[in-house]
Structure formats: C-alpha cells, structure tokens
Chain A
C-alpha cells in the first residue's frame, strides 16, 4: 500500500522536484494526518470516552480514503484575494457565533 501512496505523490509532484520534494511532501502529509487525529481527540475528549473512541476511529477511516490531503490543503492556501476574503468573512461570522452564542 505504501508503494501506491508513493506513486500518487510521484505523479502529483512532477513539476515540483522529485526525491527531496516527495520526502518533504510525505512529511507534511504525516503532519496533516496527525493534526487531524490530535484535533479530533482534543475536541472530542470533552464528550464521553465512547464518543472519543468511535470518533477517532471514524476519522482514521475517513483519512484512509482522502490520502493525499496536502495537495487539497495547498490549493486552499493560495494567496488568491477571493479565497482570503471568503475565509475572513467565515472567520468573522464564526467568531460572532462562538462568542455571542457561548459554547
């Protein structure tokens, strides 16, 4: 299975530089997946432990279907002015909802 993952990365990074580029992309993929798991644990630990266990397993399962995640993350983080404006508007709304709603 690891060869399949490597082939996917090799294909998508044709213009970015092979070898070291793929190594760092794999590192970033690992970091992204660890973050998703840690984030899930951090948020779900406030609920009871069954939800935590099931939630973590579901996320782990979901991850296996969405590898590689870093290319999607890279597309979402371009410096396009429209994308940035969308995220700013989303953040402002989120802040108001969280603070005024009270979690």
Chain B
C-alpha cells in the first residue's frame, strides 16, 4: 500500500474514533450530532481510499477510446490497456455520493429534533433533557 493511502486510512480512523467518542461521551446535543456526522465522514474516507491508484486518472472513458460497451460483452475494452491499468477504481465514488446524501438527510432530521428539544427544555445538555427517563 502507498504511504498516501495508509495516511488516508489513518485519518479516516481518527475521524471515526473522534466521532464515536463525541457521540457517546459529550453532553451537548449538538456535539453528539457533529460526532455522528464525523463518523459518516470517516466511513466515506475509508471508501474513497480503497479506490486510490497512485498516478491514476479519472475513470471516464474519453471519446478517443471509442468505447461502445453493450451490456452483454465487455471483452473489447481489454484493448484499452492504458486505461485498465491506470484508472482509479470508480465504484467507491458512486457509493460515497449516495452516502453523502444519506448523511445529509439524517443530519437534517437530527438537527430538527435538536431544535424541537431545545425549544421544550431550553438547554442543550442531554443529561438534563433525558434525566426524567432514569
């Protein structure tokens, strides 16, 4: 593995651990939500780092490759060796885009709930909001 990829994975690990710690340990409701978001960001970074190729280029088949892939047969793409050996892995981009959208929707719902709970309790402390449950 390339040093850049290793550093990328370690950054993702730091993000996930920080997010998990914030989510579980912090008392402020907004800090918990930020922690939740950090975990999602860390997971996205892991996904992207999997597709890293040193010196690779964007996996788009340019017009001069004359790609005419039909669903039944991809074997003629083998002739584009330069593309096959140098393009970075394209699948994680699609997964991360979807995950960013999911993260945005869950973040918006959590923030809306935080606003409603603040209006009711006039505090951001989770301990005070949820103490009645014990």
Contacts and interface: CB of A to CB of B under 8 A. Distances in A.
B24 interface: yes
SS of A interface (majority): helix
Contacts of B23: 85
A80 B24 contact: no
Nearest to A88: B24
Interface stretch (B63-71, B91-99, B126-134): B126-134
Interface string B114-127: 00000000000011
A39 to B, nearest CB: 27
Contacts of A89: 24
Interface string A26-61: 000000000000000000000000000000000000
SS of B interface (majority): helix
Q: Which of the four size classes fits the interface of chain A?
A: under 10
Contacts of B133: 78-81
A85 B126 CA distance: 13
Interface string A89-102: 10000000000000
Contacts of B24: 85, 88-89
Interface in B38-82: none
Contacts of B134: 78, 80
Contacts of A80: 130, 133-134
Central interface residue in A80, A81, A85, by most chain B CB within 10 Å: A81
Contacts of A85: 23-24
A28 B103 CA distance: 41
A2 B134 CA distance: 31
A22 to B, nearest CB: 24
B58 to A, nearest CB: 36
14 contacts: A78-B133, A78-B134, A79-B133, A80-B130, A80-B133, A80-B134, A81-B126, A81-B130, A81-B133, A82-B127, A85-B23, A85-B24, A88-B24, A89-B24
